[in-house]
């Protein structure tokens, strides 16, 4: 069996019921869950693929530091080769714990490095952009990405901006309304939409992108096609938004590596409703799927700073699934990658409110505010001006001193 490096991410503070869910997810027995849950104020790390020897030694070190390690029940009996684990440590004991771990065998020195890296994940990040553009700064305030659908059949505004003239006009309106980025797509991804060939996508996009060469905002191209993405980048686009997370076109991964541009990797569900009932969605599962994609990207030569993650509201998910994603968004943010959320006018908002697509402004604003309050870095929206005003309140509430000093 090939040796696998443990996968580590930091967890945010969790309410008791979510903490217990993570404890149970390790495979720990009910008694262990009951004993470990009330450990107090801790720093939490979710660790995947931890070897048996490393797990046993790590548990000893965690207990010595006043914490604990939840592992599969088969670890104590030496019946499993690897385990997922939940590491709980008193915050004040974290530094000495990591120092001691660096001298331990069984891969724990490397694990200490990964744990320290997870702790250091900065709130403010600069994402390099091509074409001499200034870096995209995330983490200072929520950014607004305006949606421009150059399609006849998008679920919200299909056909409104299908002509190049109307699309370019709308792009400039999006900038004037206060957007920070523009996301341009030529293929609808609504349920049941007919796939659009790369040649047709480019026929729709080329005149728009050519007319936006002096556009003041970074431009993202929303496509699953590497050929379309490559042409768009050559025409001045700055980043790729791939709703398939590099899955639908084998050429997309090498393009992302070769170009070095930022890429939005979105999670989607492709299995049937009955399978979904047997496998209820959790943010833990979403992150595991995205982590596998990111590992492929990094192994191929991509860089961590290229990655933006999107939990994929809609895209095969039920209303309940989407509500879980919105509730647990802090887990995704705590992972350390910039997070993009696209819930604007989505069907689950209509299911909650009974509102038609055209009447979902208030619901979309509520979703954007909740996502921003939970740490989302970029909000992909149709209603730019209204969202920008709502997010100004979120930013001011998060940093009231900075807001007051700017007055």
% of the chain residues with pLDDT over 70: 95
Cα 197 from Cα 291, distance rounded (Å): 29
Cα 373 from Cα 42, distance rounded (Å): 22
Cα 26 from Cα 172, distance rounded (Å): 50
> Over the stretch 362-402, which tens digit does the pLDDT of each residue have?
999 999 999 999 999 999 999 999 999 999 999 898 878 77
Q: Are 361 and 398 in contact (CB under 8 A)?
A: no
Predicted local confidence at residue 250, as pLDDT: 98
Mean pLDDT of 19-28: 92
| Start-to-end C-alpha separation, the chain | 61
Is residue 346 annotated as part of the catalytic site, yes or no? Answer: yes
Alpha helices, DSSP H, located in 47-141: 52-64, 94-101, 108-120
Is the pLDDT score of 162 beyond 70? no
At 4, the pLDDT band (50, 70, 90 cuts) reads confident
Among candidates 67, 8, 3, 2, which has minimal Cα distance to 291? Answer: 8
Cα 141 from chain centroid? 17
Is residue 258 annotated as part of the catalytic site, yes or no? Answer: no
Predicted local confidence at residue 404, as pLDDT: 85
Predicted local confidence at residue 407, as pLDDT: 79
Mean pLDDT of 72-85: 95
Average pLDDT for the chain: 92
Confidence (pTM):
0.88
Predicted local confidence at residue 305, as pLDDT: 96
SS3 content of the chain, % helix, strand, coil (to 5): 45, 15, 40
* Catalytic-role residue among 59, 204, 346, 360: 346
Predicted local confidence at residue 398, as pLDDT: 82
> Over the stretch 286-333, which tens digit does the pLDDT of each residue have?
999 999 999 999 999 999 999 999 999 998 899 999 999 999 999 999
Q: Which residues are CB-neighbours of 231 under 8 A, at least 6 positions away?
A: 202, 205, 206
Q: Structural domains in the chain? A: 7-120 (no CATH), 125-405 (3.20.20.20)
Cα 241 from Cα 327, distance rounded (Å): 24
């Amino acid at each position: 069996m090939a040796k696998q490096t443990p996968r580590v991410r930091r967890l945010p503070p969790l309410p008791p019921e979510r903490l217990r869910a993570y404890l149970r997810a390790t495979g720990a027995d009910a008694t262990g869950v009951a004993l470990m849950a009330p450990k107090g104020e801790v720093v939490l790390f979710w660790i995947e693929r931890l070897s048996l020897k490393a797990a046993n030694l790590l548990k000893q070190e965690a207990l010595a530091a006043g914490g604990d390690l939840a592992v599969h029940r088969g670890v104590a009996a030496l019946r499993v080769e690897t385990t997922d684990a939940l590491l709980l440590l008193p915050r004040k004991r974290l530094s000495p714990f990591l120092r001691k771990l660096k001298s331990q065998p069984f891969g724990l020195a490397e694990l200490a490095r990964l744990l320290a890296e997870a702790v250091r994940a900065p709130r403010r990040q600069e994402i390099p952009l091509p074409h001499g553009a200034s870096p995209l700064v995330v983490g200072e305030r929520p950014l607004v990405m305006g949606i421009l659908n150059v399609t006849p059949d998008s679920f919200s505004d299909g056909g409104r901006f299908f002509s190049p003239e109307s699309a370019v006009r709308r792009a400039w309106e999006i900038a004037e309304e206060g957007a920070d980025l523009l996301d341009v797509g030529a293929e609808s991804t609504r349920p049941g939409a007919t796939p659009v060939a790369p040649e047709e996508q480019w026929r729709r996009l080329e005149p728009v992108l050519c007319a936006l060469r002096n556009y003041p905002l970074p431009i993202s191209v929303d496509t699953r096609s590497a050929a379309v993405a490559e042409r768009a980048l050559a025409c001045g686009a700055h980043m790729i938004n791939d709703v398939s997370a590099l899955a639908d076109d084998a050429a997309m991964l090498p393009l992302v590596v070769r170009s070095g541009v930022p890429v939005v990797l979105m999670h989607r569900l492709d299995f049937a409703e009955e399978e979904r009932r047997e496998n209820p969605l959790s943010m833990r599962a979403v992150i595991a799927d995205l982590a596998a994609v990111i590992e492929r990207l990094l192994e191929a030569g991509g860089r961590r700073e290229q990655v933006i993650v999107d939990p994929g509201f809609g895209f095969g998910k039920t209303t309940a699934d989407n509500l879980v994603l919105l509730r647990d968004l802090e887990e995704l943010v705590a992972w350390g990658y910039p997070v993009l959320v696209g819930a604007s006018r989505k069907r689950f908002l209509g299911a909650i409110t009974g509102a038609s697509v055209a009447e979902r402004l208030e619901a979309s604003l509520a979703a954007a505010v909740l996502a921003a309050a939970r740490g989302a870095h970029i909000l992909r929206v149709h209603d730019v001006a209204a969202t920008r005003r709502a997010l100004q309140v979120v930013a001011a509430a998060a940093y009231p001193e900075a807001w007051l000093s700017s007055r």
